[in-house]
Amino acid sequence: EAQVTQNPRYLITVTGKKLTVTCSQNMNHEYMSWYRQDPGLGLRQIYYSMNVEVTDKGDVPEGYKVSRKEKRNFPLILESPSPNQTSLYFCASSWIGTDSLYEQYFGPGTRLTVT
Amino acid sequence: DQQVKQNSPSLSVQEGRISILNCDYTNSMFDYFLWYKKYPAEGPTFLISISSIKDKNEDGRFTVFLNKSAKHLSLHIVPSQPGDSAVYFCAASSFSSNTGKLIFGQGTTLQVKP
């Protein structure tokens, strides 16, 4: 089954404790991206990657890191989480093509709470 | 500054009737628009899209209309079904950026009553 998986689905942590949210896709997509969803703001892009070893900042990259060592995986790293990073996070992937780049497949989401 | 706005947080319609969800944008560089649908505890799924060279795109019960002069798009669902109850996000992009970045609206929760 074609899918984007994220782990963990739920996480409660404390300020400053490093964490990683994993994202994996099995569709051989070149493009992967991370979004966060906050009430009243919709989804906002954090980082994206056009291919292995190619990453770039989105609209809200502060406090986050990513890496793309393999095509299928795109982990999101919070080196020192803060309460303002409490949010619902989505990973997405797609093929790179004129329209397909924007018709993205989303993972189920990770609900993160930082206390 | 919200570049894509969905001003109606919620909409309730009767099964079999038309649902109309609206979306406004401010950036004239946007040239590709999409609607995503989201059920609780799931990620958004792509529903339908439209390029700025068109003013209408239809896919089964779903039709998206684009009015570039008004910077407005709408999603029509006819007939509405209870299974359509979900949050609908409008999204916009710019092909020239080639970043895959989608700018999302805040979402509209659609409830279709049996």
Preceding peptide of A39 cis, ω within 30°: no
B-chain CB neighbours of A61 within 8 Å are none
Percent of chain A with pLDDT over 90: 87
- Tokens 């996070």 label which residue? A89
Q: Which of A37, A12, A67 lies closest to B43, judged by CA?
A: A37
A74 to chain B, any CB pair closer than 8 A? The answer is: no
For A53-91, write each residue's pLDDT tens digit. Answer: 999 999 999 999 999 999 999 999 999 999 999 999 999
* Cβ–Cβ < 8 Å for A79, A20: no
B42/A99 touch (CB, cutoff 8 Å), yes or no: no
Percent of chain B with pLDDT over 70: 100
B89 to chain A, any CB pair closer than 8 A? The answer is: yes
B98/A94 touch (CB, cutoff 8 Å), yes or no: no
